[in-house]
Amino acid sequence: MSAATDMTPAIAIIPTQKPARDESARLGFRLTLPAQILVLFIAVFPILMQLYISLTDWSPLSGTDWWNAWELWNSFANYTDLVADNRFWSAMWRTAVVMLVCVPAEFLLGLALATLFADEFPGKRLLYSILLMPMMVVPAVAGYMFFMLFQSGGPVNDILSSLTGTRVAIAWLSDPTLALVAVMIADIWQWTPLMFLILLAGLVGVPEDQIKAATLLGANPWQRFTTIVLPKMKTIIIIALAIRVIENFKIFDTLYIMTGGGPGVATETISVYIYKVTTQDLIWGYVAAIALAILIVLSIVAVWAMKRMAAARVAA
């Protein structure tokens, strides 16, 4: 009887705690509901409108308000046109080429610089500030800078002339292949500092005691880097690569100022293609279909990155 009596107060407390937690949760939900509705409207409404427009032939020249676009309903015609659009696939291919060249180059350069700046050396703060400056430049301004640099009579050809001892007058921005190379050089110059900054933040967070222990056990710098530093930075590396893949997929300002997508369509990436179809052709229903397809692709990349980050945290 005594044991039963002792347990009675404890049993009586449980029903009073649960309603309190439920009431707290309901209060929190009510307080955040306006913000949740606002975020939902900002995020969901444009996507739903985009999906709606992508199933029609609506454009600003159709003489119909966008909410009456159902009058120009074409089901999935825009998506079937998208699959058969060679210009779209060519733009996607150029975007992939830029991404496959720029992102690894920026990662390797950023990682090398982060490794260098992880140690102290004279003039580190000054060099650090100088190194981050390209990232602060407005992309359109960077595009104009490199547009001038890669002119036939510009500084790049002057430097090559000095190095070779012969007159170099390469028409960088008029050559279909070299124009894309010039654009990629501009992108690497501007966004390597961002990769460097992210990787440096991850590098300084690696536990120093583990590196010292590995040194005492006889591990050389390369072994310490590959067995301790890189595994500890796995999450940071995935974040850096995911950010640059997504941003590189949207490259526009620098490229458009430098080449306008030319010569012809030689440097027309998917962003430039969407811009031209939007502003010149005014086929907004088709543009909505393209943009929705791009959104799905980038969402897949983001989901993959998040899963890899979760796996990296579990492994760590």
**pLDDT score for 198:** 92
pLDDT grade for 273, boundaries at 50, 70 and 90 = very high
pLDDT, tens digit, for every residue of 227-252? 888 888 888 888 899 889 888 888 99
Average confidence score pLDDT of the chain: 84
Identify the three-state secondary structure at position 217. coil
Q: CB under 8 Å, gap of 24 or more: what pairs does 237-240 form?
A: 237/107, 237/199, 237/202, 238/305, 238/308, 238/309, 238/312, 239/198, 239/305, 239/309, 240/107, 240/110, 240/195, 240/198, 240/199, 240/202
- What is the C-alpha to C-alpha distance for residues 60 and 72, in angstroms, rounded to an integer? 12
Q: Is the pLDDT of residue 14 over 80?
A: no
Q: Which residue has the tokens 């100022």?
A: 257
pLDDT grade for 17, boundaries at 50, 70 and 90 = low
pLDDT, tens digit, for every residue of 180-239? 999 999 999 999 999 999 999 888 888 788 877 877 877 787 888 888 888 888 888 888
Q: Is the pLDDT of residue 113 over 50?
A: yes
pLDDT, tens digit, for every residue of 123-172? 888 888 899 999 999 999 999 999 999 998 889 999 989 888 888 888 89
Cα angle 105, 187, 294 (rounded to 5 degrees) comes to 95
pLDDT grade for 12, boundaries at 50, 70 and 90 = very low
Task: Transcribe 256-292 into DSSP letters.
Answer: HHHTTT-STTTT--HHHHHHHIIIII--HHHHHHHHH
For 110, the token pair is 């950023």
Task: Transcribe 135-164 into DSSP letters.
Answer: HHS-HHHHHHHHHHHTSTTSHHHHHHHHHH
- pTM here is 0.81
CA-based torsion, 105, 228, 240, 47: positive or negative: positive
CA-based torsion, 34, 38, 43, 44: positive or negative: positive
**pLDDT score for 1:** 45
Q: Which residue has the tokens 């390209």?
A: 134
For 186, the token pair is 């501009």
Q: In angstroms, how far is CA 167 from the centroid of its own chain?
A: 40
Nearest to 184 by CA among 173, 197, 196, 169: 173
3-state helix, strand, coil in the chain (%, to 5): 80, 0, 20
